[in-house]
Structure 1
Amino acid sequence: METDSGLPREVNASRANDARLCDFALGGKDNFAADRTAALKLADALEEARYLLSEWHRFRARALEALLDAGVRQFLDLGCGMPVRDNVHDIVHAMAPQARVVYVDIDAVAVTHFLALLSSKVPAATAVQADVRDPEGVLGHPEVAARLDLDRPIGILLIAVLHLIGDEDAPDGVVAGYREAMAPGSHLVYSDLSGEEQPAERVATYLRIGDEIGIPVTMRGRTRASQFFTGLDLLEPGLVSAPDWRPSGPFRPPTRWLLGGVGRKP
């Protein structure tokens, strides 16, 4: 149901949203004043924050190429956010046009825009609104179950999403729910915020601004993040700064805010 503003009832345009904040940072127009204010506040305090999305997207592209080379032909993008120039389906369909892709996000605006983009033009891909923190609910969603065969290798993407899931929401159990449902030969792709290589005062600044704009974040270092790969074999070069994962330059010096890694289920 929509409100008088034309927005879905669950959408609060007065509060910053991570997906729409990222949309603004990438030059998109599907965002509100609160999202723009929040993005500018973060960029003003930490100039290199403007490069994080580029690092995430380049890491994702390289990871997807590795999965495609390994024969993976179905993908679940958890916490997909808003559509961008090179989405998961754009990348994988360039090599495997029949590969299946399902986008998942809790934000109604993000899902609506993905559905409008895909429509009947990309029948091998769809988007569903669901809470990533509920693996059973996501994997059991009718659209997910209809598109993806969990008895075959799958690529599950957790990119720029776990920093939004605090420890109080048991992220290890969330990731385990997806990991345990993966068939042998499946891959888990992870990249997220880490303050491990940053001065303590800069980490404190990032955390403070996250709280102030209403998007609190949790940063995890290598030791903590490695627990998400329990039972998986980490592909070389392991869990590293995201731009250092099988780099294909040239690229600007890494911000050192992001970790990235890919694990394969034996």
Structure 2
Amino acid sequence: MSASEEDGQEPSDLRPEVPHPARMYDYYLGGKDNFPADRAAAEQVMAISPRVRLSAQANRAFLQRAVRYLAEQGVKQFLDIGTGIPTAGNTHEIAQKVHPDARVAYLDNDPIVLVHSRALLAGASHGTATVVQADLRDPAGILADPEVRGLLDLGRPVALLLFAILHFVDEESDPYGIVRTLVDALPSGSYLALSHGTADFLSPEQAQRGPAVYCAATERLTLRSKAQVARFFEGLELVGPGIVTVPLWQPEQPEREGDALTGIWGGVGRKP
């Protein structure tokens, strides 16, 4: 009997023959939780846009800096949606170094991610954290989820984390409405931290060919401009330095050549 059968969960269909964005991202980060189809698709993307691997690594480092910053502002509750396959320096690990009692709810709709995340949280001591199966396209369902409501007190400040997930939500699914619904449900003093892929630094050919690779994957890719990403922060107070490419958000090292051209915008905003 598999672990998923033992804990009452349905076994996951890994579909190793179909490229998967979470496994492709794992490959960009140098992880091992991926299959040949994922690596082949990721190599296609990197051939089109050679900075993709560096961008993924910079995005991961941005997440860690942002979570540390938010914890240092006194935030002890984190709603991390679209968490991806766990790797070193996960949200709960960063937050609980600052506040051992920090609470983290990881949400993802992907069975592959859920299996890996549950395995991580079933291991060594991890404080207060949980993994919930949920879809970003259903924000009302997320907010009403009993496990989320049982862990997080939505009457107290919450950090909403949307890292490298909104570019898998197309315009027809109303990504701005989704974010607005989630932010509106959080109290004053809460934060939104997000990162989002962009074609702002790509040639027209690259901007077409890169997302086209994802058409054969389980999720499609919608790249957005800086102005479009800024719309997610409407009504919020941007934390300095504002919306920048992810290596340039409160960096811990001197700017390197190419940092300003990294194809991911990132920012953190506070709800007044």
Q: Is residue 62 from structure 1 mapped to residue 68 from structure 2 by the alignment?
A: no
What is the 5 A alignment of 1:24-173? 24-119=27-122, 121-173=125-177
Query: Alignment partner for residue 269 of structure 2, among 257, 263, 266?
Result: 263
Distance 1:24 1:256, change over 3 A: closer
Q: Is residue 23 from structure 1 mapped to residue 26 from structure 2 by the alignment?
A: yes
User: Matches of 1:245 and 1:123 in 2, distance apart?
Assistant: 28
**How many residues are aligned here?**
263
What is the 5 A alignment of 1:249-260? 249-250=253-254, 252=256, 253-254=258-259, 255-260=261-266
Q: Give aligned-pair identity as a percent.
A: 39
Deviation, structure 1 residue 26: 2.5
What is the 5 A alignment of 1:202-217? 202-213=206-217, 215-217=219-221
Deviation, structure 1 residue 86: 0.9
User: Matches of 1:180 and 1:142 in 2, distance apart?
Assistant: 19
Pick which of 61-70 and 176-185 moved more: 61-70
User: Matches of 2:120 and 2:211 in 1, distance apart?
Assistant: 34
Pick which of 78-87 and 230-239 moved more: 230-239
User: Matches of 1:189 and 1:209 in 2, distance apart?
Assistant: 27
Deviation, structure 1 residue 207: 2.3
TM-score by length of 1: 0.92
Which structure 1 segments of 5+ residues have no match? none
Which structure 2 segments of 5+ residues have no match? none
Question: Secondary structure at the residue paired with 2:241?
Answer: coil
Alpha-carbon contact 1:16-1:215 (below 8 Å) kept: no
Pick which of 150-159 and 50-59 moved more: 50-59
User: Matches of 2:160 and 2:245 in 1, distance apart?
Assistant: 20
Q: Deviations over 1:215-257 (max 9, x none)?
A: 4211111221111112111111111111111111146432421
User: Matches of 1:28 and 1:190 in 2, distance apart?
Assistant: 22
User: Matches of 1:8 and 1:52 in 2, distance apart?
Assistant: 33
Tell me the C-alpha RMSD between the 2 structures. 2.0
User: Matches of 2:225 and 2:185 in 1, distance apart?
Assistant: 25
User: Matches of 2:255 and 2:116 in 1, distance apart?
Assistant: 30
Pick which of 160-169 and 230-239 moved more: 230-239
Letter in 2 for 1:185: G
